[in-house]
Amino acid sequence: MTPPARRPYRLFGRNALLLAALIIVGQILGALVFYFFVQQPRTERYAAALAENAAAVAGALQALDGESRQRFVTAFNAGTEHQGKATAGPGRPLERLMLRQVSSQLALHGIEALWREDSGGTLYLRLKLDGEDYWLASRGPFRRQTIPGAALLAWTLGGALAVLGAFLIQRRLDRPLRALVAAARSLGQGHRPPPLAEEGPEEIRSVGRAFNQMNAALAEAERERVLMLAGVSHDLRTPLAKLRLAVELSGDTEAPGLAADMARHCRQIDAIIDQFLDFARSDDGEPPRRTDIAELLHSALAAAGGEAFRLEIQPGLPTLMLRRQAMLRLLGNLLGNALHHGAPDFVLRAGCEGGELHIAVLDRGPGIPPAEAEALMRPFARGSAARGGPPGAGLGLAIVDRVARLHGGSLALLPREGGGLEARLSLPLERLDASGAHAVDTAARH
């Protein structure tokens, strides 16, 4: 079964088809108006005049003898050009209309009309008198009529200009809408697109103005959030350092183990503050640079104390344009989550497939239910398996997801074959091969 033709779903395609259809309908309506109000009345007038002349000729022939009748008909037809043998006709719509008109009026005079037409367009009307046929020649009103070249040229140019005008008008409407779509897509990927040009019709300008206001409000809220989190984290870091120093100086003389517990809690609070600072930090300011993937993974393992991980790197991985510090924070969070909430066997794997670089952190822990995977990427969200484990702020996966989107990639939390969790980062090779994360912005704007 042949699938139905797909209709154009883009606004530009729909409007272009609509305008083309309107132009065609306008041409058809113009032709109908010309036919009914110009050509048809002219044909009817000609038919009435021809019927009157034929009736007058028939009356004159009735008063003449046979030889005089033939001389009269010859003289009557003398002013008409004859080309070729006459055949049955007429066959064109307007001539059929004229035939009906003339026949109906000649019938009132008792005259039967029979038509012939030669190659020159001359029409012949047969009058039957006393058993003899007399053919009266008449130059038809449509003789050798063709559509003039000037008319064809005018119709063609008019249609072309109308289509071109419709294209330019629609393009002017489509350009700001495409810019709005690109800016919205860029904003959804975590970037801050430049303000849109507020141009075009008032409705389009209003949409662009509203988007610019929303973009500015989001940027201001982001700045305030970063400032607040950084300020709170900094203010907490100072008394925490004093508390840790006091615990270390107090020793463990009065309450065995208490100082060690307090020191451990201080380290946990310090780690939470680090997460707040990482989440508050904007990575847009770090320029991308050419990064060796294998070296990046080794550095991330060394910084995270990941001796328990088995490293599996596909040979020949390309160097990509990445924000190195942001990627180190991303990998540090994934490795830390696996160590804190998972269980051996730990694997850090990297390879290319399907035009993407895949970096996966695998463990044999309890995993994450599929229903919770998406929710865990939101700030301050914690899974059911992590709530009874080591304390945290619930910002690790949110940081990973933000950095991934900053590079045009994505994070997926998948069940590992044989049990456990696979946290897979996917980065597009094409976008990051030449111009890094900035290519995401450029592609979104165009």
| Residue 255: pLDDT band with limits 50, 70, 90 | low
Q: In what order do the strands lie in the sheet with 115-117?
A: 87-88, 115-117, 122-129, 132-139
Q: Largest alpha-carbon pair distance within the chain?
A: 156
Class of domain 11-139: alpha beta
Q: Could you tell me where the beta strands, DSSP code E, fall in 57-171?
A: 87-88, 115-117, 122-129, 132-139
What is the rounded average pLDDT of the residues 290-305?
91
Report the DSSP beta bridge partners of residue 422: 362, 414
What is the Cα–Cα distance from 308 to 306, expressed in whole angstroms?
A: 5
| Structure-token match 């019709």, residue found | 201
Q: Could you tell me where the beta strands, DSSP code E, fall in 186-293?
A: 289-292
As given in the structure block, the two tokens for residue 138 are 């008449």
What is the Cα–Cα distance from 225 to 213, expressed in whole angstroms?
A: 18
Greater confidence, 115 or 266?
Answer: 266
What is the rounded average pLDDT of the residues 356-366?
93
Greater confidence, 279 or 7?
Answer: 279
Radius of gyration of the chain (CA): 45
Cis, bond preceding 345 (omega within 30 deg of 0): yes
Q: Is the pLDDT of residue 387 over 50?
A: no
Greater confidence, 21 or 189?
Answer: 21
| Residue 437: pLDDT band with limits 50, 70, 90 | very low
Closest to 297 in 3D by CA, of 386, 122, 425, 185: 425
Greater confidence, 261 or 328?
Answer: 328
**46-60, 86-100, 156-170, 292-306: which has the highest mean pLDDT?**
292-306
Which helix H or strand E contains 350, and what residues bound it? Answer: strand 346-353
In single-letter form, the type of residue at position 48 comes to A
Helix, strand and coil in the chain, % to nearest 5: 55, 15, 30
Cis, bond preceding 90 (omega within 30 deg of 0): yes
As given in the structure block, the two tokens for residue 301 are 């393992």
In single-letter form, the type of residue at position 59 comes to G
Q: Is the pLDDT of residue 217 over 80?
A: yes
Q: Is the pLDDT of residue 384 over 80?
A: no
Q: Is the pLDDT of residue 110 over 70?
A: no
Greater confidence, 177 or 446?
Answer: 177
Q: Which pLDDT belongs to residue 310?
A: 92
| Residue 443: pLDDT band with limits 50, 70, 90 | very low
Q: Is the pLDDT of residue 411 over 80?
A: yes
- Mean residue pLDDT of the chain comes to 76
Domain boundaries of the chain, sorted by first residue: 11-139, 286-445
What is the Cα–Cα distance from 390 to 294, expressed in whole angstroms?
A: 30
Q: At what angle do helices 258-280 and 396-406 cross, to 10 degrees?
A: 30
| Residue 309: pLDDT band with limits 50, 70, 90 | very high
Which helix H or strand E contains 401, and what residues bound it? Answer: helix 396-406
What is the Cα–Cα distance from 385 to 370, expressed in whole angstroms?
A: 13
First-to-final CA distance of the chain: 38
pLDDT tens track for 137-172: 776 555 544 455 666 677 778 778 777 877 777 777
Whether CATH 2.30.30.40 fits 286-445: no
| Residue 445: pLDDT band with limits 50, 70, 90 | very low
Size of the chain, expressed as the number of residues it contains: 446
